[in-house]
Amino acid sequence: MQLNETHQASLRSWVASANAPGADFPIQNLPLAVFRPPGGQGFRLGAAIGDSIVDLAHPNVAALLEPHIGQACRSPTLNELMALGPQAWSLLRLMLSRALRAASPQQERLQSALIDQHGVQYGLPASIGDFTDFYTSIHHATAVGRLLRPDQPLLPNYKWIPIAYHGRASSVRVSGHAVRRPSGQIRLSGVETPVVEPTRKLDYEVELGAFIGVGNPPEQPIPIEQAWNHVFGVVLLNDWSARDIQAWEYQPLGPFLSKSFATTISPWVVTSEALLPFRTACSRPAADPQPLPYLHDAQDRSSGALDIVLEASILTSAMRADDQPEARLSRSSSSHAYWTIAQMVAHHTVNGCNLVAGDLIGTGTQSGPTAAEAGSLIELTAGGKQPLTLPNGEQRSFLEDGDEVCLRGYCERDGFVRIGLGKAAGRILPALVGVSSA
């Protein structure tokens, strides 16, 4: 993948809302999603342009596409398009860019394929076969490790291996779905026998999710220098966490019920090609161990990180009732990650594990080096010991019922147009009645 005409900062669209300063979806972005129009009977693929969606299944759009790409765009999920590979993805992006540019001869043809984003229903972008969540922020790993293991916050393998656990694909939901407070086995302080009750320490995690496009055959690892050719694009990801359930269950095999109840992702997949201008050098202290050969690539080291600004905000029930705006909890950048997406893909497959189109890879919580850049409440509140005070005077150690957490992300760089990732939001519902030790 290389920078091309679709990235030019001078491009403007005949869709006026795409030209607004600070818009998430200018013509330089063109992310893809699965949506259903108001009153529509089925999900279909769409590309975002400003406040509108280009219906990729519309006959006027299909007439502009190569037949194999047009066929994939008539699918109700992105999996078939993902499996076509980078050349097809780039051709689709180029066609959309040219057709949506100001003074394009295709304007009249495509206007009939535009749908207002307001009121549409989003579905999962792909049928997700597997979900793997990594742990790529050394700042998050150290902060949480210090709370759980004060004597050894960062385990020795962290700087050698991109740590991950196998998540639960069936509980991944698209932005807007509510999150039910989970119950599980918890060992309370000073009590020998654990109890089963709703979590008291519900948390969010600010992450990115990378969707796999082209997979790899079993037993054939993906070399790190080819890894980005297998990555279709990126979404925002919130891996909701029950910290008290996690603290009791995570040793010796890692998270289970504390994570598997819900994961929220944004509906719009920002393609790898759209993100090219915002790639940056990886940051790793010179004194740290250098990656083993299968995790090292000079190009990945110089431009394998993504500089995506990530923000988390909260809207409580009281704030909502008083018509107050949401309050920002944190802001950081994914450029602080210790491991790159290419390294995650290479490590995931080094043992011969085969990935398939639609597999989802989470980055883990993306925290930065300062306290204000912490991507979870467990960090922001020192494990709940130092509650946050919100603008309306409410305090939070962990999330309460009715709280809505919203993640947003965007990329900015001199010489290029800002692009956004949209949002991933979810509101907390009370635990189901009757779930307890009894």
- The token pair at 57 is 């299944």
Q: What is the DSSP string of 361-394?
A: EE------SSGGG--SHHHHTTTTTS-EE-TTS-
Does residue 290 register a pLDDT over 60? yes
Tell me which residue has tokens 């759009």. 61
- E strands, 138-294, in order: 164-166, 172-174, 179-180, 183-186, 195-198, 202-203, 206-212, 231-238, 241-242, 263-265, 270-271, 279-280
How far is Cα 107 from Cα 125, in angstroms, rounded to an integer?
27
Task: pLDDT band for 302, please (50, 70, 90 cuts).
Answer: very high
* Largest distance between two CA atoms of the chain: 73
Architecture of the domain whose range is 14-123: Roll (2.30)
Across all residues in the chain, what is the average pLDDT? 96
Q: Which residues belong to the active site?
A: 140
pTM of the model: 0.97
One CATH from 3.30.2420.10, 3.40.50.720, 3.40.1370.10, 3.90.850.10 for 131-429: 3.90.850.10
Does residue 435 register a pLDDT over 90? no
Q: What is the CA angle 263-269-234, rounded to 5?
A: 70
How far is Cα 175 from Cα 235, in angstroms, rounded to an integer?
11
Given this model, what pLDDT does residue 436 score? 62
Does residue 73 register a pLDDT over 80? yes
Helices (H), 235-390: 243-249, 298-303, 317-321, 341-349, 377-380
Q: In which element (H, E) is residue 189 found? A: none
Query: Domain locations in the chain?
Result: 14-123, 131-429
Residue 85: which residues within 8 A CB-CB, separation 6 or more? 213, 214, 229
Given this model, what pLDDT does residue 230 score? 98
Report the chain's C-alpha Rg in angstroms.
Answer: 22
The stretch 78-107 carries a mean pLDDT of 98
- The token pair at 369 is 């080096």
Residue-wise pLDDT for 209-244, tens only, equals: 999 999 999 999 999 999 999 999 999 999 999 999
Closest by alpha carbon to 326, among 189, 231, 427? 427
Residue-wise pLDDT for 332-390, tens only, equals: 999 999 999 999 999 999 999 999 999 999 999 999 999 999 999 999 999 999 999 99
- E strands, 251-304, in order: 263-265, 270-271, 279-280
Given this model, what pLDDT does residue 437 score? 55
C-beta of residue 359 within 8 angstroms of C-beta of residue 353: no
How far is Cα 229 from Cα 86, in angstroms, rounded to an integer?
6
Residue 321: which residues within 8 A CB-CB, separation 6 or more? none
C-beta of residue 254 within 8 angstroms of C-beta of residue 393: no
- The token pair at 60 is 């006027």
Does residue 279 register a pLDDT over 60? yes
Q: Helix, strand, or coil here: 111?
A: helix
